Every structure is written in C-alpha cells, then in structure tokens.
Structure 1
Amino acid sequence: VKSNVGHLESAAGAASLAKMALALRNDKIPPSINYAGPNPYIDFEKEHLKVADTVTDWPRYSGKAIAGVSGFGFGGANAHLVLREVLPGDLVEPAPEPDVAVVTPATDDSPAVFVGGVRMDEYGEFVHDDDDDDALDRPAPAVDDEPETPALTEEALRLLALAREELAAGTDESAAESKTDLVPLAVSGFLTSRKKAAAAELADWIDSEQGRASSLQSIGRSLSRRNHGRSRAVVLAHDHDEAIKGLRALAEGKPNPSVLTADGPVANGPVWVLAGFGAQHRKMAKNLYLRDETFAEWIDKVDALVQDELGYSVVELILDDSQDYGIETTQVTIFAIQVALGELLKAHGAKPGAVVGQSLGEAAAAYFAGGLSLADATRTICSRSHLMGEGEAMLYGEYIRLMALVEYSAEEIETVFADFNDLEVCVYAAPTQTVIGGPPDQVDAIIARAEAEGRFARKFQTKGASHTSQMDPLLGELAAELQGIEARPLEIPYYSTVHEGKLFRAGADPIHDVDYWKKGLRHSVHFTHGIRNAVDNGHTTFLELAPNPVALMQVGLTTAAAGLHDAQLIATLARKQDEVDSMTTAMAQLFVHGHDLDLRTLFPRSSTGLAGALDFADIPPTQFRRKPHWLDVHFTGDSSAVIPGNHVATPDGRHVFEYLPRGATDLAALVKATAAAVLPDTRLVASEQRAVPAEGARLVTTLTRHPGGAAVQVHARIEESFTLVYDAIVARGDAQSALPAAVGAGTVAESATAPAPVEDEPDDDAAILHDNLTAGAGIAAGFAKWKPDTGESIGQRLGTIVGAAMGYEPEDLPWEVPLIELGLDSLMAVRIKNRVEYDFDLP
C-alpha cells in the first residue's frame, strides 16, 4: 500500500491486509500506482517477480488464488500472513450440534452438562468423573495420608441448629444489621473514558422500566460473564437506587464509598498476609460460617483436626456468643479462620502471588505456601498454642511478662533499651513501630516515656511475652511434640519473618522443620522486613486474612516508608461489619486491580443448578466508539501548506491537481490551496460556481498563470467525462517574483526571485516549540514548562506529553502497556523526546 498512501509504519500491515482481502473478493490484482518501470538491479524474470501496472486477473497457479501480506513494524518486527480465496468446500454446512442433556451424577452434587460426550460445568470447565476410564491414565491427585477425623461434636451441632434458627428469624444481631446481599456490578473498558461511558449507559438502563424490572443479581451475573478490560471498576449495591448512584458517580469521576475503581492492572500478584495475635473478638466468623458453605466446609475440616489434637471443637468456639478467647483458643481459632478464608478465596479463583506470616500466622502461611500439609500445620499451631496457654496459666507475680507496641524504630529502640535492661524486642512491626516484652514495671515505664515524647504506645492484654527469653522453657517440649512433621518444598514465594524477612522462592528446599518453629516462637518477628522485601520485589497489593485487620496499619507504614504511597491494602473481615459483604468487597478489590478472581463465582447457581434465561438481564451491549481512519483532505482559509491532490506541471506552464474527496469540499478553499501551492501570497478576487460535483467524482483543479495572478478552474471528473464546477481568479499580493529563464532541458537555472528579507528568529523558545513540535503533536498552544510548585506531578506532565503525542487523553493512557505495543512510531518518539527535554529543561 506504499504507492497508495505512503509510509504507514506499524499500520502498513493492517492496510495491506484490507487491500488484499478486497482484491481477493473482487478477483482482481490492482495496479501499483505511479509505477514507472522495473528496478534495473533486480532480475524480475529470473526471480519470477512482476509488478502489476494494470488491473490483472488473479492467477491460480495451485488451483486457488493466494496472497501474501508482510508487515514491517517498528524496531525490525516482521509479521507475515497468507490469504486464500474462499473455496466451495469451505461453505459446507457443519454437522448439527449434539443434544445437551443435564446430568447430575449420584456421586457429585454439582450440576454439569454433557456436550459431545464431554462433561462440563456451567463455566465451561471440564469435569472428570470418578469412574471415567480415562482417569486410570491420569496420575491421582496428591492427598494427605491421614486417618479418619472426627465429625462435629453434639454441642457444635446444637449450637449450629440454634444459630440457623436465629439467622432465619432475623434475631441474630449480625443478620439483623445486614440488608440484602451486596451485589458487585463490574464495569470495565480498555480506556478509563470508555469505562465511564459504559457506567453512564448502564445507570440509564437500570433506571429504566426494564432495568428496574430485572433483579440486581441477574444484572450482576450478566456483567460478570463479559470480557473485562484493563481499566476496571466494581459498584457495590444492595438495591437499584444504590447501583444507579454508584454508577453515576463512576461515570462522572466522583468518589463514592460503594465504587471500587482502578485505571490499570498491577504487575505482581497479591501478598497474602497472615497476621498474629490481636484480631480475635466475640462472634468472629460466625455469620460467614452460617452463610457460606465453602467457608464452613474448611472450618469443619480444621475443626476435625483440632479435635484430634486438643480434644475440643473450633466450631463450638465460633458459634458460642459468650466465648472469651484465651491465649490458646485465640491462636487455634484464628488459624482455622485464616485457612477457611484462604480456601474461600481460592474457590473464587484467587491465588496468592506470595505469602507472609506473622507469629501465629506463620502456620497458615506455611500451609498456603505448600510448606506443610493442613494436618501438620494444624498440629503445629495446636502444639504451639497449647504450650503457651499452659505456660501462661502457671505464671504469677514476678514471672509475669507483658507486651506493648511502642512508636520506636529498630534503631531507636536499641538506644531506649539502655535504660530498660530486661526488655526485649518481640516484633519489628513497622519502620517506626516495635512490639516489646518484659517485666510489667519496665513495660509501663517505656509506655509512659513514649507517650511523654508524643509517641504512640499500647499495652497488650497478655501475661506472657512470646518471642522473648520467657519462651525458652517451652522449646524442648515443642520440639518433642512436632517430631514427625514433614516440611515440603515451597510452591508459593514465601517471605519468612522468622528468617529476617528473607524471600524463599517457589521450588526452594523445605524450611518449615522443627527448628523453624522453635526459632519462630523464641526469637523476634521481622514482619516489616518481610513487607519491605515484598515491596522491593514489585508487590503493591497486600491482602490480610484475619477476622479483623490488625497488620494492615503496619503494612501501610512499611509501604509508605519504601516510597509506595498507593499500595492496595485489603482486609477480608472486620469487626461489626457484615462478613459476607466484607468478603465480597475484598474479592471485588482484587478483581478491580487485575488479580486472579473469577467474578462469575460470586453469583450462586439457581435452584435448578444451572443458570437459566431468567437468571440473566438484557443489559445494554458494549458500545464501541467508531472512529474513521481514512486520511481526508481538509482545507482552511489559509491552507497554504496543503497540496490538494496529486500535482502535475505541464509544459505550457499550467499546474494540474487531482484528488478524490471523501465528503463535501469547500471549493473556494480548494482554489486558495491550489494557488498557494504554486504562487506565493495570493488572494481570491473573483469566483463563480458553475455546478455541484456529483458523488464519487474526482476533482481536477487547473491553474493557468497570467500577469498579476492566475485563473483557476475546478472540474468534476467521472471516468473520462469532465464538468466545470468552479471558476476563479486569484491575484498576487506584495511578494513578487520574476519568471524563470528559459533554458535547455536538463539544465538548472538560477531563480530570479528576489531574495526575501531575513526575518529575525523569535526569542521565545516556546514559540519555536509550538511551531515545530506542538502543532504536529496535537498539544494545545500556551503550555508552560513544568514547575514543581504548580502542584502538577512529574507523572501527570509525562502523561500529558505522551498522551498528546499518541492520541490519548492523559487519564486513558495505559501506563502498564509498553508504548511500542500502543503504536509508538519514530515520529511520536521524537516528539515525546523533544517535549520532555523542553518541559523539564533537560540538556
């Protein structure tokens, strides 16, 4: 297509593909425009090459018409496609689709469909039957070789029945406070502006009669099945009015607590944070246990293991509203909740990019990283918590040790400890926060000192200080109880707070042996070091798995100290908040930031098992922004820089231009542009329109010079028929030039034009930049150099520069996509480079 439209750089391949598709459809090879003859340095006959200079029938050397298209992109990237004409055999009707039958095997409660003999679930995923013959050829999934574990206790069953009755009757506090289920409405687009436009269209539809007649669940389910662009948002709503309000806020770019939005995905997966002591509270996880089957299933699994280890039921603890958690039951129950929360997230398609544990959270972290089986992880937390509980129960008087969080950095605490000889560091929680432990009088004294200095300080309700020398008597018995646990190779990157926050990559040798757990109980926890290493490795999302967020504040302090001021800090559950809604919100946040999350699974199946027509809403289809990409010729009153078509100078001194307009043409502007292309400083002095050009006619403009100006005629041409449509006279202005001297063919004559006066170059460098860079780059005039005191960040100015050069609004620029993939060409790169050097005063 170079002879048609010139250089297109990365767009040439697509244009050539369109040209060849049209040529195949019309069964003709179009001629190459302006072809004058073969290159004398190429042996066309020997190489079996030919350039079509006329319309040619398509040859069928192999019995069919074939075309090749090559695209040569920026930086030497090449792409080649082969096209073939459609043959009669391509039009054979396909075989009819096999009937689809819904089958529910007795061994599986989940619904499925059989398509062509293959069993699939409602999301199109393959489902393997236990009795499938092919299963004999597949390796069996790894399972823990564990003995049969106990079922729920009778007391747990009694409490469960009572809780379900309260939930159904609405007498349970958590159930009474919650409204209808929170519904996530996903809206997305490749660009932020398209996402906003989609939100506005959806808001209008929901506010219509048809939209209000559709259930919010059906609307959300339909939206979840769509393709999701890079710029995502989720509007969380309980009813139609909340949905409309949130969508309109999203469309207008206004903040709203029910709107979660991000303009592009983050690069690395989320870090799952398994926190330590302090998240416990009465009724924690009870509502979620009653309302979410997946969560309850995994609580029950841990409950059976805990019964086997310690002889009591975690389910009883969760369902007992009067439960006041102690040092032992707190650790075991939080561990069970962490495991169930993680498995619930995994059931919805989420997965960790890395994990980090803190104190008791190390057990669940080891399980999710693959370092321990669930049975061994449960055994570890049970042994640890039971020994600590027994030890704390025996403490009295001078043997009691307290713990407190004080606002001192690791360096500052060492200086402060010079006045408190018996205090020890329990947890390096954040760059400016440290958990310390020791005798009560010294703990109280350091708290008083911190508060007197205007620093934050808080005492923990404990009688013992873990991660200090007080744990030494427990280490031998802990090692004895953990004999036989099997440490496994890691499957997920692991930031170990036991090993000073060090990263152990997936596939690393096992680390969770007995010595690991002894060190973890006795020595300081390097939590902030693990978070800092995660930030340094590119992680920006941190998801805390806990019944109440207790570590996210320290995570936020660490990310801010590392220079990451927009980290995504996501809680799963929170005290006094609806737990199902909290989990929906957490998963929506993961989805918005581009992390793995199957949004379809947030919408439960209907009573029949599969979603039917009534479970979906007839929401508006995706509206595409249609933009023409034809290069039209537009004329303005001073379009001296525009050549109106192909130009030919005839021997008799006339100048002829010809082009095919793609719409209505201003004939007066065409005449001015023609005159400006040949004569300097002309003006239109007389004109008369004789006819209106017919649709599809080419415009042929002829300029005939005469003293003082020229006569210009515009003819409309259809094939070989010409019709005069416009007649005009242009006159010369002040600029004068002599006629060229007549010389022999091939001899260059010196111009007789009087030298134009040299104009002083403008002193304003902004004017120079506007003339040579701005007008071509699409950047508005009147801009100023970037200054730090304007409130505009460097990133915002770069977004303006790059977006203007590449045709994006700054808010739509996909920062995570390489510019070459967005269509950067050499001219754009030069414009960006020049503008950056100017705006930031770079040498």
Structure 2
Amino acid sequence: MDRVDVVQPALFAMGIGLAAVWRSLGVEPAAVVGHSQGEVVAAVVSGALSLEQGALVVAARSQAVLACAGQGGMALIERPVAEVEERLAPFGEALSVAAVNTAGSTIISGEAEAIEEIVAQLSAEGVYARKINVDYASHNAQMDPLLPGLAERFADLKPGGPEVAFYSTVTDEVVAGPELDGGYWCRNLRQPVRFDRALERLLDDGHGVFVEISAHPVLSMPLTDGSAERGGIVVGSLSRNSGGLDQLLRNLSLLHVQGHDLDTDRVLGNGDVLPLPTYAFQRDPYWIATSKPSGDLRSVGLRASEHPWLGAVTGTAADDGYLFTGRLSLAEQPWLAEHAAFGTVLVPGTGLLELALTAAHHVGAERVEELTLLEPL
C-alpha cells in the first residue's frame, strides 16, 4: 500500500465510493474542490469526467510517478508561503513550493536530502515542520520528464460540462468543463496546488459547509483554519482505525447538530415509528434564576464596594494587598449580551480595564499604565 501506483488508485476509489455513500444519505454537493490528485475525484463527482476517464488519469499518473520513487520527498511547514519561499532560496532548484493550503500552511517538495535538512532546521527553531510519508516530489521539477508521456496518454480525454460546480486549484477559476483535458492534468501534477485561493473563492460564493471524502481527514485542519472566521462547518468521512459506516454516520450527525438538514428517511430507512408524547414539548430553559444575596458584609470581614460589578473588598492576610470580588451574569448585567463573538458573550476589554482602574484608585494609584489580556473572559 505504500507504493504510489497502489495507494493513489486506492484513494481514488475510496473518494468516489464515499461521495456515493454521502449522496445515498441525502447529502448532495453544491460544489467540489480537490487537492492534487484529489482533483481527479472532484472532476468525476462533478460529472466533468466519466469514471473511466478519472481512473485512467489516476492510474497513468501514479504509474509514471513510480519511476521517480526514492528520488524526492515532501514536507508540511506551518508558515505563510512568502516566508517559506525565503527559506527555500538557499536551496536553489533542490526545493520548491508544492502547495499552499491556507494563508499560514505550506507544502514543499524536492530532493530528499534537502527536505531532511530544511525540516531539521525549522524544527530546531520551533517552527512546525514535518515530512510527508512519500518518497517522490510532486508539483516539482522532478515531474517534468513525465509530462510528455502523460500528455500522450491523456490525448483522448473528452471532458464535459460539470453538473456540480468544480473549483480549480490550478486555474483559480470555476471551470466550464472542456478545460479539464490532458494538458490540465499534467499541470495539476506539476504546478503548485493553490488550495488557499480555491477555498477563498468558495467562501466568497457562499459555500460554508465542507465534507472531506477521504479515508482520513487530512484537509479538515486547513479547511477549518481557512473558514473559521467566516463560520465554516467542516466534517470528515472516515478516520484512521475508524473506517466503518458508524464513523461516517457520526460525521453526518455532526453536520446535523451544526444546523445542516438531515434526510431522516434516507438515513433511518423504514424503521418503526415511535409515538411521541401527546403534549407539546416545553422548550423553556431549565436554569433557575438566582437572586443576588444581600446582607451585612462586615459580619464576614468584608467591606461593601460601590462598584456595580464588585460586591466586596477585603484586605489579604499575607500582605498589604486587597482582593476585589464580584459576580457578572446576564441576569444582572443584560447589556453584556450585546458584546458577543461567534455566539459567545465576551466581557469588553474596556470593562476589565475599568475594574483595574477601580482597584488602582482604591490603593491610591492614579492610572493603569498597562493591561494585558491573555484571553477573553
């Protein structure tokens, strides 16, 4: 399974099969995008290539690449492409950018020894860099000798118009179909994969729910990173050591709980229908509203604070410091609900600064020179 001419056709078959399973469960793609050889799967799923044409492309390419096995390698570097290109410059033609996954994630390829050297350098500097488990250099000059023969083998490809929008990582465009000819698949093997640009265009066009059809979710992290700020939803299909239907259904349920409609008839079939209670469901929150306690704080060694957020002030036993305590809640400060990000209410930084200033005034200081927030409250 480690041989490129075995694993790539296997991954192709897995992708095609998983796409069919997702569709059988009622999940239909509005668009497709692929990464490197994954574009062949995307082209078949979109309808631009027939299954036979897609199988030809994958088989021919993987057999050709086998001739380069043992001569190269690839690595993932979690840094922007511009920074990676600067680090590659001293290596000359030995290394090049193979793919740009997101704004901060880049893949390189090239000579095996050079890959080992740069990964060791970056790791020693604390940069996340790791080798990818391949012994060839896709999207690199090492592929150039293969292209004439592949172009000849692909000469009879006759792609059609896709039924599902196909977002290309080669042209950065939504393809019409005919351009997915033999020349395209040679460029797909040789040029850097611009997954970042395809993802940005997908998001711009309103596609925000991503299902990765693969044996293990290798793109879910860049998909999540690249779409998080715009509310993207990302799920996989299968995962390593979890290759059964239960794992796929688990991912289907993740789609469902994040707001994606589920076709229960397709998923559950014609099973028994259980009677529901005859009364309407009560969807009220069950949290009990709490009242703010009152009493003489001096009886427990505290002093009342005049600040609306701080309930009490007490001197600390170990030194001359003070401890300010209070409680924040939407029940007592409902206006806080207006300051939220991605569904989570956050205490404004200005409010925390104001608390620090109150403490400063209590001990005779005039101002707060610096306030660093490590994470939002």
Q: Secondary structure at the match of 2:235?
A: strand
Question: Residues 44-70 of structure 1: CA distance to partner in whole angstroms, max 9, x if unpaired?
Answer: xxxxxxxxxxxxxxxxxxxxxxxxxxx
Within the candidate set 505, 520, 536, 2:188 is matched to 520
Match of 2:219 among 535, 551, 557: 551
Q: Aligned partners of 2:37, 2:55: CA distance in 1, in Å?
A: 11
Q: Does the alignment pair 1:443 with 2:115?
A: yes
2:42 counterpart residue number: 365
Match for residue 623 of structure 1? Answer: 280
Relative contact order, higher structure (CA 8 A, sep 6+) = 2
Kept in 2, the 8 Å contact 1:410–1:434? The answer is yes
Q: For residue 480 of structure 1, what is the aligned residue in structure 2?
A: 152
Question: Which residue pairs with 1:406 in the alignment?
Answer: 77
Partner of 1:772: none
Alignment of 1:632-781 (within 5 A): none
**What is aligned with 2:361?**
none
Query: Is 1:428–1:526's contact at 8 Å kept on the other side of the alignment?
Result: yes
Contact 1:490 1:510 in 2 (8 A): no
Structure 1 CA distance for aligned equivalents of residues 240 and 75 of structure 2: 22
2:245 alignment partner in structure 1: 580
Q: Does 1:384 align with 2:61?
A: yes
Q: With the length of structure 1 as denominator, give the TM-score of the two structures.
A: 0.33
Partners of 2:240 and 2:341 in 1: CA distance: 40
Partner of 1:493: 165
Residue 503 of structure 1 pairs with residue 174 of structure 2: yes
Match of 1:462 among 117, 134, 150: 134
- Tell me, yes or no, if structure 1 residue 352 matches structure 2 residue 24: no
Pick closer, same or farther for the CA change 1:413–1:603 going to 2, 3 Å. Answer: same
State the 1:469 CA deviation.
Answer: 0.7
Shift of 1:430: 2.1
1:679-700 deviations in whole A, cap 9, x for unaligned? xxxxxxxxxxxxxxxxxxxxxx
Report the CA distance between 1:424 and its aligned residue.
0.7
Q: Give the aligned CA root-mean-square deviation in angstroms.
A: 2.7
Partner of residue 254, structure 2? 589
Q: Which residue among 340, 347, 357 is the counterpart of 2:17?
A: 340
Q: CA deviation at 1:503?
A: 3.1
State how far apart, in whole Å, the 2-side matches of 1:591 and 1:583 are.
13
Compared CA separation, residues 596 and 383, structure 1 to 2 (3 A):
farther
Q: Equivalents in 2 of 1:782, 1:451: separation in Å?
A: 50
Distance in 2, Cα, partners of 1:588 & 1:795: 21
CA distance in 2, matches of 1:600, 1:581: 17
Q: Which amino acid aligns with 1:554?
A: P
Note if contact 1:338-1:546 (Cα within 8 Å) is conserved in structure 2: yes
Q: Could you report, residue by residue, the CA deviation over 1:113-138 in whole angstroms, capped at 9, with x for unpaired residues?
A: xxxxxxxxxxxxxxxxxxxxxxxxxx
Please, which of 394, 408, 416 is the counterpart of residue 87 of structure 2?
Answer: 416
Measured in 1, the distance between the counterparts of 2:85 and 2:67 equals 31
Counterparts of 1:594 and 1:404, CA distance in 2: 36
1:453 Cα offset (Å): 2.1
- Once residues 268 and 334 of structure 2 are traced to their aligned partners in structure 1, the CA distance between those partners, rounded to angstroms, is 51
Report if aligned partners of 1:351, 1:596 keep a CA contact under 8 Å in 2: no
Distance 2:97 2:331 in 1: 60
Deviation, structure 1 residue 426: 0.8
Q: How far is 1:548 from its partner? A: 0.7
Query: Partners in 1 of 2:239 and 2:209 — Cα distance?
Result: 18
The answer as to whether partners of 1:371 and 1:511 remain within 8 angstroms in 2 is no
Q: Is this contact kept in 2: 1:349–1:596, CA < 8 A?
A: no
**Residues 781 and 617 (structure 1 numbering): CA distance in 2 closer, same or farther, change over 3 Å?**
closer
Q: Distance in 1 between matches of 2:102 and 2:344?
A: 33
For 1:366 and 1:413, the matched residues in 2 are separated by: 30
In the alignment, the residues of structure 1 paired with residue 128 and residue 141 of structure 2 have an alpha-carbon distance, to the nearest angstrom, of 25
Distance 1:622 1:455 in 2: 59
CA contact (8 A) 1:407 1:450 kept: no
What residue is the counterpart of 2:143 in the other structure? 471
- Summarize deviations over 1:208-229 as a string: whole Å, max 9, x none: xxxxxxxxxxxxxxxxxxxxxx
Q: Which amino acid aligns with 1:618?
A: P
Alignment CA distance shift 1:450-1:601 (3 Å):
same
Alpha-carbon separation, structure 2, partners of 1:437 and 1:377: 25
SS at 1:355's partner residue? strand
Aligned residues: 298
Instruction: Give the distance between the partners of 1:596 and 1:344, measured in 2 at CA.
Output: 17
Aligned partners of 1:334 and 1:594: how far apart in 2?
30
CA–CA separation in structure 2 for the residues paired with 1:475 and 1:797: 52
Structure 1 483/589 Cα, relative in aligned 2: closer, same or farther at 3 Å?
same
1:311-369: per-residue Cα shift (whole Å, max 9, x none)?
Answer: xxxxxxxxxxxxx3311111100100110110111112210121110111111100111
Q: Distance in 2 between matches of 1:523 and 1:797?
A: 42
Rounded to whole Å, the distance in 2 between the matches of 1:449 and 1:625 is: 60
Once the two structures are superposed, the pairs formed by residues 128-139 of structure 1 within 5 Å of their partners are none
1:581 CA displacement: 0.9
Equivalents in 1 of 2:16, 2:37: separation in Å? Answer: 12
Distance in 1 between residues matched to 2:242 and 2:343, nearest whole Å: 37
- Secondary structure of the structure 2 residue equivalent to 1:503: coil
Aligned to 1:328: 5
Report if the CA contact (8 A) 2:111-2:137 is conserved.
no
Q: Given residue 90 of structure 2, which amino acid in structure 1 is its aligned partner?
A: D
TM-score normalised by L of structure 2: 0.72
Change (3 A) 1:425 1:621: farther
User: 1:532 deviation in Å?
Assistant: 2.0
Cα separation, 1, equivalents of 2:259 and 2:225: 24
Unaligned runs of 5+ in 1: 1-323, 606-610, 627-779, 799-843
Matches within 5 A, 1:113-262: none
Rate the CA distance shift 1:518–1:616 in 2: closer, same or farther, 3 A: same
Mark the CA change 1:557 to 1:795 in structure 2 (over 3 Å): closer, same or farther.
closer
| Structure 2 runs not aligned, ≥5 long | 284-329, 346-377
**Structure 1 residues 455 and 619: CA distance shift in structure 2, 3 A:** same
Q: Which residue of structure 2 aligns with residue 227 of structure 1?
A: none
Deviation, 1:550, is 0.6
- Measured against aligned partners, the alpha-carbon deviations of 1:777-806 in whole angstroms (never above 9, x if no partner) come to xxx9975766xxx994267699xxxxxxxx
Paired AA for residue 793 in structure 1: A
CA 622–474 in structure 1, closer or farther in 2 if over 3 Å, else same: farther
Helix, strand or coil at the partner of 1:459: strand
C-alpha distance 437-353 of structure 1, shift in aligned 2 (>3 A): same
Distance 1:580 1:390 in 2: 36
Residues 738-789 of structure 1 deviation map (CA, whole Å, 9 limit, x = unaligned): xxxxxxxxxxxxxxxxxxxxxxxxxxxxxxxxxxxxxxxxxx9975766xxx
Change (3 A) 1:603 1:474: same
Out of 323, 340, 358, the position equivalent to 1:793 is 340
CA distance in 2, matches of 1:445, 1:577: 34
The residue type paired with residue 373 of structure 1 is: S
- The corresponding residue for 1:427 is 99
Tell me the secondary structure at the aligned position of residue 521 of structure 1.
Answer: helix
Q: 1:480 to 1:451 in 2, by over 3 A?
A: same
Report the Cα distance in structure 2 between the residues aligned to 1:438 and 1:336, rounded to whole angstroms. Answer: 28
CA distance in 2, matches of 1:472, 1:795: 46
